[in-house]
Structure 1
Amino acid sequence: MPQVAASTPAEPLSTDEVVALFRSRWQASYDMQIVTRRRRLYVQVMWAYLEQQSFPLTEDAYRQHLAEVLEVVNRLGEAGAVRDWLQTTKDRPRLGKALSLQLPGEGRLEEFLL
């Protein structure tokens, strides 16, 4: 009988990977946020993007902010789910409408919620 390999955790998401994914999918470096609603965490891809004249962050500040968001995603063990979602979602960020993915977190959300 063939052996089934044990599933391994997904590689952590990096800032460079996410920026490249945004640019290849939507031709812009979109903002990403972690949002808490009703004791649930969501990752959201916002409609604002780095290449906009009115975007409030420099490229360095944008990358630092994105790294902080990805730190939460990676620590929750949700890098694979977020990566798959970003690669396959049919939607795109539009003015006033962010893309949103609930993070299950498997019982670890308490350390991220105040």
Structure 2
Amino acid sequence: MPGKVLFKIIPGEQGTNHSKKDTVSISSIRDINLVRNPFNLIIDIVIETFHDKKIKIRTYNFLGDLHYKLIVDQYIYPYMTENAKKVWDRKVNLERLRDVARYERKGTKFV
């Protein structure tokens, strides 16, 4: 939908993720998930921080699973803490991203 901004990502060591209601530092992200609400079937991005804060970003089903994984892996992943990176690595299938979207994480080579 033209003109609709769901969230803004400012990458970097002091990077932030801005949504309509909240701002969260990328380095304070513990976990990030794409969750479907069972009542209205709208997909939300749920960000959990190390300060036990949960931020929900409503996507209105504009953002698909593949695009979500590409955005997180490309713009948020490089600036996450090591523990958060390990959690994300368990969720994402880099081989599928490479095959379907022709995306390859910088510094990662497949044999």
TM-score relative to the length of structure 1: 0.30
The structure that is strand-richer by fraction is 2
Higher relative contact order (CA 8 A, sep 6+): 1
Structure number with bigger Rg:
1
TM-score relative to the length of structure 2: 0.31
